[in-house]
A and B are shown apart, each in its own frame.
Chain A
Amino acid sequence: MKKAFPVLGVLTAILLGYALYQALVVAPTEKTMGDVQRIFYYHVPSAWTAFILFFINFGASVVYLIKRNPAADIVALVCAEVGVVFCTVVLVTGPIWARPVWGIWWTWDMRLTSTLVLWLIYVSYLFLRRFSSGGQTPTLAAALAVLGALCVPFVYFSIWFFRTQHPQPVMGGGGSIDPRMLHALLINWLAFSCFAFLVCWSRYRLEKLQREVDQAHAMQSLLDPTGSVR
């Protein structure tokens, strides 16, 4: 498995380069928005990737609540952390696109506001994991993750249920898209999904190792009553 990581890393880097080429060169320029529309090839795949990671976090949290499996707890933590990174990208690239197209950086529209709330929920999840030291922390975090996951479909469907300034969905929204644009979008999604998978894998290994080291420290403290070991 360790040998597969660098190989997958190189393949993902090539895929990300190809996806960038598709987004900037191959995909046609949109008539009304111009080149600024190309932000969509990073914004939308980042949002989809974040949603998938939050759903995996939800599944792993449920597994943890039922089975108390530490591996599920690590998966939940890792997916929340990487999901927050992708959600941050969404919240930053969205206003950069909105400024030239809408004339404003931000509006308290349902899609934008619910995405910000979703981000805040998962940031609070990470704060809980980081700063709470009690034995119940993983259980409390898992319960928060279950509630946070309920927000994901709300964010996704908010543009159907509410009058919003946000563009309608690319797929299932009744509109049409140039096949080259769709290809660029899907390639970018695939590339960012592979990238997210590798980051999660790396972060999982780190977290597992960290817990082993923490256990070793605890054991060493027990075996050294003088307290000379930190």
Chain B
Amino acid sequence: MNGNPYLVAAYAVTWIIHIAYLATIVRRYARLKREIEELKR
């Protein structure tokens, strides 16, 4: 296996898409946690 640029691009883009989506989940969790803290007050 050599570093074919198309192969590298496809694998990189796949993980960029998944990590970006995971980041949105983490962000939503953080926002929800803040809302829960506000509700408790």
Residue of B nearest to A37 (CB): B7
> Closest CB of chain A to B4's CB: distance in Å?
4
Flag whether A147 is at the interface (Cβ < 8 A): no
Among B9, B21, B32, B39, point to the contact of A96 (Cβ < 8 A).
B9
Q: Which residues of B contact A29 (CB under 8 A)?
A: 1
Contact A89 B1 (CB under 8 A): no
Contact B1 A38 (CB under 8 A): yes
Contact B6 A96 (CB under 8 A): yes
Contact A199 B6 (CB under 8 A): no
Flag whether A150 is at the interface (Cβ < 8 A): no
Q: Which residues of B contact A100 (CB under 8 A)?
A: 4, 6
Contact B1 A25 (CB under 8 A): yes
Residue of A nearest to B22 (CB): A199
Given A209-B32, A213-B35, A213-B39, are A42 and B4 also a contact pair (CB < 8 Å)? no
Q: Which residues of A contact B11 (CB under 8 A)?
A: 20, 39, 42
Size class of the contact patch on chain B: 20 to 34
Q: How far is the CA of A98 from the CA of B36 in the complex (A)?
A: 48
List CB contacts (< 8 Å) of A174-230 with chain B: 195, 199, 202-203, 206, 209-210, 213, 216-217, 220
Q: Which residues of B contact A195 (CB under 8 A)?
A: 18
Q: Which residues of B contact A203 (CB under 8 A)?
A: 25
Digitize A151-168: 1 where CB-to-B-CB distance is under 8 Å, 0 elsewhere: 000000000000000000
Among A20, A42, A209, A217, point to the contact of B10 (Cβ < 8 A).
A42
List CB contacts (< 8 Å) of B1-21 with chain A: 1-2, 4, 6-7, 9-11, 13-14, 17-18, 21
Q: How far is the CA of A199 from the CA of B17 in the complex (A)?
A: 13
Contact A39 B25 (CB under 8 A): no
Flag whether A139 is at the interface (Cβ < 8 A): no
> Closest CB of chain A to B3's CB: distance in Å?
8
Flag whether A115 is at the interface (Cβ < 8 A): no
Flag whether A97 is at the interface (Cβ < 8 A): yes
Digitize A47-58: 1 where CB-to-B-CB distance is under 8 Å, 0 elsewhere: 000000000000
Q: How far is the CA of A209 from the CA of B36 in the complex (A)?
A: 10
Contact B21 A199 (CB under 8 A): yes
A-B contact pairs, 10 of them (CB 8 A): A34-B4, A35-B2, A42-B11, A46-B14, A93-B10, A96-B9, A195-B18, A206-B29, A216-B39, A220-B39
Give me the interface of B with A, judged by CB distance under 8 Å: 1-2, 4, 6-7, 9-11, 13-14, 17-18, 21-22, 25, 28-29, 32, 35-36, 39
